[in-house]
Amino acid sequence: MPHPAPSPLYPPLDPFDQRMLEVPGGHTIYVEQCGNPEGIPVVVLHGGPGGGCSPAMRRYFDPAVWRVILFDQRGCGRSRPTASVENNTTWDLVSDMEAIREVLGIEAWVLFGGSWGATLALIYAEEHPARTRAMALRGTFLMTAAELDWFYRGGAGQFWPELWDKFIGHLPEEERADPIAAYHRRLFSGDLAEETRFARAWAGWENALASIDNDGATGDGASPTARAFARLENHYFSNGGFLAEGQGILDRLDRIRDIPGVIVQGRFDMICPPSGAWKLSQGLPKVRLQMIPRAGHALSEPGITAALVQAMQEMAETLPR
């Protein structure tokens, strides 16, 4: 029986610093640091919105070289209050990143994020280009109506019709034309049992399509985790990512044209199709697009994992300490 290929990830490691940071609007966010306290700062931006960070995310960086900062965004993970959408917008998260950077005494850092984490990285970079040294993005999501329509109005469902039928089957027929709005009414109904039931269905649809090797299992996960994930994600998507006219990522690429980086994109990403990564790369001459064959959306895809680890090794060699 063949042995599995060795993982390119670095060994597990523990944080050297963990703290709860109070931020405006009644939120307290979890922040941790690991690796080399004198290393190159990199901030890890998790997906969702509402996904939370995990110990595995620490392992993409050489701990002798990188000072790795992870945090749970408002309303999820170890941040409090859980599943809260009050004072929880893209711009609040950008402000939180600046608060973390200032508290930790970091002049500028590298941004590392996938899916919604890539969205937040790009919006932060466009707002604070002088604080952004480089970017490593994965599974690019540009927060456009076309991308939301693809995933929530039947585009991806053309490939997974049985799972799409299950996802919209929770809704009355007259509400199925706009699943985001229909799920919103139930995720914020005030009935905990109903919110939890629909949260598991919302999270299950996304989980089922994350990996190219997935067999269609929905992997709904623990109810409190699913509820925070679904409520936050739906809240952001219902509001178009809180991006006003002219604030779209592609509208402001001129602000980050000189920032170097890499985009790692799964060729068969069902959640964030490769067209977004391609469009983004065309406007960023110093960012390299690396398309990974036989890979989907998930950070844990073997090809994506290997490409990101290698990208961070190469970036460490080129960035001045």
Residues 2/298, Cβ–Cβ less than 8 Å: no
Closest to 289 in 3D by CA, of 316, 260, 247: 260
* Catalytically annotated residue among 72, 92, 96, 269: 269
* Catalytically annotated residue among 27, 184, 235, 297: 297
Helix 179-187 vs helix 145-152: crossing angle, to nearest 10: 80
* Catalytically annotated residue among 79, 84, 115, 281: 115
In sequence order, the 6+-apart residues with CB closer than 8 A to the CB of 308 are 60, 112, 136, 138, 264, 299
* Annotation says 297 is catalytic: yes
* Annotation says 96 is catalytic: no
Residues 307/290, Cβ–Cβ less than 8 Å: yes
Q: Catalytic residues, which ones? A: 115, 269, 297
